[in-house]
Structure 1
Amino acid sequence: MQFGFSSYSFYQRLRTGDMTMFDVIDWVAASEGEHLEIATVSLSQDMTNDTSTLVSDPDFVAALGAKARAAEVPLSNLVIPANFLTDTPEDYEREMRRVQDHIRVADALDIRLFRHDVVTWAHRDTDIADYERCLPIIVDACGEIARFAAGYGITTSVENHGNMVNASERVRRLIHLVDEPNFRTTLDVGNFLVVDEDPVSATMQNMPYASIVHLKDFYIRPVRQDPGPGWLTTAAGNHLLGSIVGYGDMDMRGVLGAVAASGFDGYVSIEFEGIEDCLLGAERGLANTLRILAEIR
């Protein structure tokens, strides 16, 4: 496995201007990390709204690629939001073109993995009946994007992310229905908690379909122990707060054991989203990951 970071881990400093993406590449090059994945929301002032200019600023894309090559930091994955449950056919086609334009950006950056969402993170109707109603649209969109990306030698993926398409079985169902060899999943070991699914068993079941793995950790509090503002509420009313990998309440030994036991040999990204300093969170998260893996092997 090749361990590195998501640019989302550095959002604190990117948002304030304390770091640029070029600084992030230098930091990764000086660290123990072996790759960097680019999340477009990390280039936006508001992480809930993708305002990055990657598709409209070829000079920046060229400079980013040149910087990564000079620093010898492979760019592993391009991560973008997307929503195919649009109000009009025109909106759907506009969204499809936007995703395809980002695939061209990935190719320009020599990135061969590409993660796109299919609905908004905050899509609140999580009932299985709603999911089944939306599946035909989602399947068609994912299939079209995967076939488009295949022309560039790129593997696309959906992440277990947000409310609607998060549970491990829903992700697997989508992959099987799309049935394209280059459509897989970006497996985020912590996101399963958002829909109150056990991360160890969910990771174990979905690892055969993973194109890349996101590692994160959470502090977890039950429904009746509301810790106050700043915590995410899960589908069942539990409470989550991002932590440094290895510092939280997740069974990271169980999770990393499931990743290792699967035989996965691809990219693994630390995706820090806690309230501690992001450089500390990224550095210690990777150190804890490598230490835990060494202990369980």
Structure 2
Amino acid sequence: GLPIVNYTVGADFINGSNGDWKAEVARVKDEVRVAQILGAPGMRHDATRGFPREFKGKKSFDDALPMLIPAIREVTDFAADLGVRTMVENHGFFCQDSDRVEKLVNGVDHENFGILIDMGNFLCVDEDPAAAIGRLIPYAFHVHAKDFHVKTGTSPDPGKGWFNSRAGNYLRGSIIGHGEVPLLSCLSIMKKHEYDGVLSIEFEGLEHPPVGLRIGFSNLKRYLRLA
């Protein structure tokens, strides 16, 4: 069978566990124990979806960092003792831009904590994936190859299966190589930086998954040879 290379869990160190960050840390530590039992060398968790609407005070990402950093550092310090590396993904809008993710990983400043880079997710915040990967690849523990179809937000809503980026553009998951993500550029950057971690496909297309994955895997192998 296939080895488990990463264990993925949700987390929110501002809103999770009814807003009790210590309880959320304890809960995520329990997930680290699960990762160890499974033999997974890494665990991906979220940081936060952002401040709740009713929160009174400053709500920028920089204002969230003093709340996120100690919680995530405590989790990864615990995980290091169990032999599990932890990482945050560019995911969920609030912690998705490359500059925000870089601030977080540098703030935590722990050799056991890094980034799960999702190539496609940068489009959710209207950021160029190649430029974003160029910034974050030095911190990468794991990489998702993902592709999206993109339509401008000035066009009519294309309907079911599409969702909006932060700026209102329309995105829909696609087969690797069928969308707008500059995959070859992203892979070339990874090769230049000698990334030697896991590269996995995350498929969110409307096509039948076995078909979409088979075509996407073939394309990804071809792009890797070209990079």
Identity %: 39
| Structure 2 residue aligned with 1:246 | 177
Gaps of 5+ in 2: none
Q: CA deviation at 1:229?
A: 3.0
Q: Which whole-Å CA distance do the structure 1 matches of 2:187 and 2:111 have between them?
A: 26
Q: Does 1:287 align with 2:189?
A: no
Task: Sort the Cα spacing of 1:218 and 1:121 in 2 relative to 1 into closer, same or farther, 3 A.
Answer: farther
Q: Which whole-Å CA distance do the structure 1 matches of 2:140 and 2:52 have between them?
A: 24
TM-score (norm 1): 0.71
Aligned length: 223
Q: Does 1:120 align with 2:61?
A: no
Q: Which whole-Å CA distance do the structure 2 matches of 1:199 and 1:123 have between them?
A: 28
Q: Does 1:275 align with 2:201?
A: no
Gaps of 5+ in 1: 1-70
Relative contact order, CA 8 A, sep 6+: which one is greater? 1
Q: Which whole-Å CA distance do the structure 2 matches of 1:277 and 1:218 have between them?
A: 16
| Structure 2 residue aligned with 1:82 | 11
Instruction: Kindly report which structure 2 residues correspond to 1:1-297, keeping only aligned pairs within 5 A, or say none.
Output: 71=1, 73-86=2-15, 91-120=20-49, 130-225=60-155, 226-296=157-227
Deviations along 1:98-127, whole A, 9 cap, x unmatched? 2111100110111111111011389789xx
Say what the alpha-carbon RMSD is for the aligned residues.
2.1
Secondary structure, aligned partner of 1:76: coil
Q: CA deviation at 1:132?
A: 1.4
1:163–1:235 Cα contact (<8 Å) kept:
yes
Task: List, as ranges, runs of 4+ consecutive aligned residues in structure 1 with deviation greater than 4 Å.
Answer: 87-90, 121-125
Deviations along 1:245-292, whole A, 9 cap, x unmatched? 111122211122122222001111100011111111222211110011
Secondary structure, aligned partner of 1:75: coil
Deviations along 1:165-221, whole A, 9 cap, x unmatched? 011111111111111111100000110111100001101111110000001000001
Task: Sort the Cα spacing of 1:142 and 1:255 in 2 relative to 1 into closer, same or farther, 3 A.
Answer: same
TM-score (norm 2): 0.92
